[in-house]
Structure formats: structure tokens, C-alpha cells
A and B are shown apart, each in its own frame.
Chain A
């Protein structure tokens, strides 16, 4: 077996005194599609935000391709890295947010090219070509000159996916990306994600779409009270939950 793409070791995260992650261990291999499910407050989103280094964490390590991200040890003391190194580490992962968070002052095309130009330092033509390739993949090439305010929620979210994946990350992170969408717009976003998964993109998703998690995942993780409660292939987890908590959670979820 090849080296894992990402390893999370013993991750602990506190908000003030409240511990939301209580020692999470997780390994993700290339082309894995890992879905995190669990009730709200179980730490799903926080885990994702730690991987993208948007949250600080207090103990444990995250390694991508064997390199620790976010922190370094100096004289036995743990330090958060500088803004510019954090930025480099963040670029290893692509994040898609629940609330899209597109840049409202830029067109769809420029939302995608900004990172290519300013982070990847691509030439203008190359950046535009790359951006148009990905906008085409998410079915929005005809909308490239529209601003986010002129797009539907589903379209905005697809631009956000294009913006993240155009940066060529090793791992895509999806944080409840359909939760803020009208029901009829959910499928267009899910089918884009499925399309990327079929292409071999490695993904870690937090989702409430159980049917989708069942369909698309190689592994499903059930988070419970800041820890991984259960973990396994979707068929196993959904059909033979080992714990009472997971059985109840699945019973109460809509498919």
C-alpha cells in the first residue's frame, strides 16, 4: 500500500474550555472519498476547519504527504507557523463552504483566477484557460462574466467548487455544501461532486445528505461527541451500525 495522503493523529480542539474534538485519528489515501456524518455539535465541521487550518488545534498532528501542516516544534514547544507558510499549507487542500463565500466584487471567472494569479503566480492567459476549463467542468462556462449576486445558490456553489479545485489541491474539503441551498438546487451541486469523485479526486466531506454519502463514499465516518464513533464502508455503516447512537442517528435521518 502506498503512503497515505493525509494522516490525522490524536487531534484535540478546544473552544475556551469546551473540548469539541477529543482525540481524532484518521487516515485518508489517494482517491478516497470520506464522508463525515453525525449530529450537530459532534465536531464534524470543526474537524474539517482544522484540516484547512482555519481553526487552531491544541494537540495532535495533521500530516499531508508525510509533512506536518500548521505547526512546528521548536525546543519541545509547539508553534503555529507564520501566515505565509500557513498559506502554503492551506493551498494543499481546497475548501468549499456551506455559505459559498464567493468574492462578491469579482466575476465567476475572476473568482477562479484570483488564486491562480496571486497564489500560483500563473500568467494571465494560463490562469484564464485553467479557470475556463474548470468552469466548464461545473457547467458554468456561459456564466463566467456574471457576478455572484447574479447567480443562483447552486451556481454560486459550483463556482466555489471550481475556484477550489482549480488550485489543484491534493485533497478537497466540502463543508455541508448543500445545506444552504433550496432543495431543487441540491442535485446540481451533488452531481458535480460525484463527477469529481469518479475522476479520482480525494475528498473529505461533511454532509447531511445520507443518500449521497452512501452513494459516493469509500468510507463513512460517524462522529459522536468529538470522537470518531464508527468508521467503515457505507454499506457496513448504514446497514449494520454497531452502536446504539449510530443506529438512532440513521433512523432519524432522511434518505
Chain B
């Protein structure tokens, strides 16, 4: 075996890799942001007394969590157009990751909600807040703090899932790494650099979320 490392080709296109990382981060942020709202609503639906809401939420979470994300990506991108819903590849991927993160975050939020003391909701109602007011000003702020560690894990995991967007040619980090690999045959270099970039990004996200955790911690 005679392989000499040469990173020149990778550095030449490093700005492509960076732009890919940037796109991946943006995809993750947008999807997780919208997915969090879906997750919150579905979590409340899951613990609600209303049978219909509960069933819809359970169906959603079960269906999405038991389908591989790559299948969901292909389904949205290839199958939905057949049904008349044609999305660009970026929109299509954001749609998939949003639905996907919503399902995972539902479980995180639901766990947080059932762990809250009953008295919290009653105290909110007792000062004259409505059910929704109590959720917004009391229940959600307290619950979010308790699930932040679990939330961080999910955020990082969902960010890494953006690498699968390469499968439908969304120009993110994995897509460019493969392009450099194919064009230059610098196999080890391109994938090593891409891996390091994922690791650094995840590390920074984790550090940022830990900082947030500490800032929001309830004394």
C-alpha cells in the first residue's frame, strides 16, 4: 500500500466544504425550530384527555419514528411529486427533517410534561391564567429546562442527519466531500476533513447548549 496524504485538493475546495457545513447547519436550525413547535403541540395532544388528539399524536410519532429517515427523505422527494406535491430538493429535505424532528421531540417534551408536579398547572390557573396562558408562561418554561440535556442530544443527532440530504443532491457538507473525493481521488483526505468538520460543529453546538443549560438552570 502506497498512499501519500495530500490535502492540497481538499484545501483548494475548502470554501465549498464550509458552505456545505453552513447549509447543513441552516437546514438543521430551521427544521428543529419548526419541529419543536410540532413536538410541543403533539406532546400536549399526547397527554390530553381528548381521544382524537391523542390518537393522532400517537399515530404521527409511531409512524415517523419507525421509518428510517432515508426512506422518509426519498418518499418526500420522489413519491410526493407523484401525488401532486412538488418541492425543491432543499424544501423537500427541510420538510422531511421537520416532520422527523417533530416526532422525536414529541417524546422528549412528553417525558418532561408528565414529570411536572400537578400543582404547577393549578397554580397558574389559580392566579387567573387560561389553560394556554398557563402552558406558555408556566408549564413550557419549567418543562424545557428539565429536558434541556435530552434536547441537546436530539439537536446534535438531527444536525448529523443533514448529511443524508446528500442522497437527494442537496449541496451540504457530505455532498461536497463526495464531490471532492470523486473529482480528485483524495479519498482519505476528503472524508477525514469532512469528519473533523462534523465533529467540531457538534462539539460547538454541545458547548453552546451546555452554556444555555447553565444560564437557564433553576437555582
Please report A residues at the B interface, Cβ cutoff 8 Å: 52-54, 83-84, 86-88, 90-91, 94-95, 97, 99-105, 114-115, 118-120, 146-147, 149-150, 160, 163-164, 167
Contacts and interface: CB of A to CB of B under 8 A. Distances in A.
16 contacts: A83-B130, A83-B131, A87-B130, A90-B126, A90-B128, A91-B127, A97-B119, A97-B122, A103-B142, A104-B142, A104-B218, A105-B141, A105-B142, A115-B128, A115-B129, A149-B218
B156 interface: no
Contacts, number: 78
Contacts of A88: 128
Of the listed residues B124, B130, B141, the one surrounded by the most CB atoms of chain A closer than 10 A to its CB is B130
Given A90-B126, A103-B138, A167-B128, A118 B119 contact: no
Given A97-B123, A103-B123, A147 B219 contact: yes
Nearest to A114: B137
A7 B125 CA distance: 22
Contacts of A105: 141-142, 145, 218
A86 B131 CA distance: 10
A103 B119 CA distance: 10
In this complex, the member of A103, A120, A160 whose beta carbon has the largest number of chain B beta carbons within 10 angstroms is A103
B123 A102 contact: yes
Contacts of B128: 87-88, 90-91, 115, 119-120, 167
B142 A119 contact: no
A94 to B, nearest CB: 7
A163 B128 CA distance: 11
Given A87-B133, A99-B119, A147 B125 contact: no
B126 A95 contact: yes
A102 B124 CA distance: 9
B122 A149 contact: no
A54 B122 contact: yes
A118 B122 contact: no
B127 A119 contact: yes
A114 B132 CA distance: 14
